[in-house]
Amino acid sequence: MKKPYVLIVEDEEAILEMISLNLHQNNFIPQRSINAEMAEQSLKNNKPDLILLDWMLPGMSGIDFLKRVRINSETKDIPVIMLTAKAEEDDKVRGLDVGADDYIAKPFSPKELIARIKAILRRNTPDLIPSEIVIGKLKINPDSHTVSYNENQIKLGPTEFKILYLFMTNNNRVLTREKIVNKIWGNETEIDSRTIDVHIKRLRASLKNNGLEETIETVRGSGYKLSESKYFE
């Protein structure tokens, strides 16, 4: 699989390094630029899959660079995430107005940055982002239909597999029984909530057999939730 190529335009060296390292660790190819002029040159040589663009740059500003990216037919469709220390709402609006796809205020966590990048690439170029989801030592891959914990395969029935995938894509969020039914069986079905409970029970049992206890919490009166903490131990 081709690694996504990300152009970073950031004049603060420590931040540039931090971003570059995190991109590298997450299987992206980072290209560093310390100003917009350097980034323009880089764009001529190689078209990135995404641009991370600082707002305040020496010389041409991030906003002016973004405008130029958007009027050039070669680069107008490249997704851009603005990075900025200016957390004011109107700046955000201005950035989105001239065509930024997203906006992250400094200081941000590398984890959040990577998550935002992946979210945008999933929409724009889904082929570049593997559909495997990894939470700690728990991995699920819908392409190969496999689940593993700590490198040990976990066997699940097709419905339990879908439910676990749903939980892992909605990590730490409560899923109501209704939502689970809609996502797994569709709106038209008349699956009653006890059916869900049976599948959840089976899923819990399979996970427990593989050393994952209490991973799916019952949220009283609401539904269920995948509790992340256990996987990080």
Q: Is 104 in the site for Ca ion (CB under 5 A)?
A: no
List, in order, residues 6 or more apart from 95 with CB less than 8 Å away.
55, 63, 66, 82, 84, 103
Strands 102-105 and 80-84, how do they pair?
A: parallel
| Residue with smaller CB distance to Ca ion, 67 or 230 | 67
Q: Which of 3, 5, 11, 119 binds Ca ion (CB under 5 A)?
A: 11
The piece of 7-15, 28-36, 66-74, 132-140 that touches Ca ion (CB under 5 A) is 7-15
Q: Which residues of 89-120 are buried (b: 16+ CB within 10 A; e: fewer)?
A: eebbebbeebbbbbbbeeeeeeeebbebbbeb
List helix spans (H) across the chain.
Answer: 13-25, 36-45, 62-71, 89-97, 110-124, 158-169, 177-185, 193-209
CB of 118 vs Ca ion, minimal distance in Å: 24
The piece of 11-19, 44-52, 88-96, 149-157 that touches Ca ion (CB under 5 A) is 11-19
Q: Which residues of 204-217 are buried (b: 16+ CB within 10 A; e: fewer)?
A: bebbeebebeebbe
CB of 174 vs Ca ion, minimal distance in Å: 39
| Residue with smaller CB distance to Ca ion, 94 or 118 | 94
The piece of 8-16, 42-50, 157-165, 216-224 that touches Ca ion (CB under 5 A) is 8-16
| Residue with smaller CB distance to Ca ion, 18 or 56 | 56
Q: Is 91 in the site for Ca ion (CB under 5 A)?
A: no
Residue nearest to Ca ion (CB): 56
| Residue with smaller CB distance to Ca ion, 80 or 196 | 80
Site string for Ca ion, 200-219 (x = CB under 5 A): --------------------
Q: Which residues pair with 217 in a beta bridge?
A: 225
Q: Which of 29, 38, 56, 114 binds Ca ion (CB under 5 A)?
A: 56
Q: Which of 7, 20, 50, 54 binds Ca ion (CB under 5 A)?
A: 54
Residue in the block written with tokens 């914990």:
149
CB of 90 vs Ca ion, minimal distance in Å: 19
Q: Is 101 in the site for Ca ion (CB under 5 A)?
A: no
Q: Which pairs with CB-CB distance under 8 Å and at least 24 residues apart come from 68-74?
A: 68/40, 69/43, 69/99, 70/98, 70/99, 74/43, 74/47
**Interacting residues with Ca ion (CB under 5 A):** 11, 54, 56
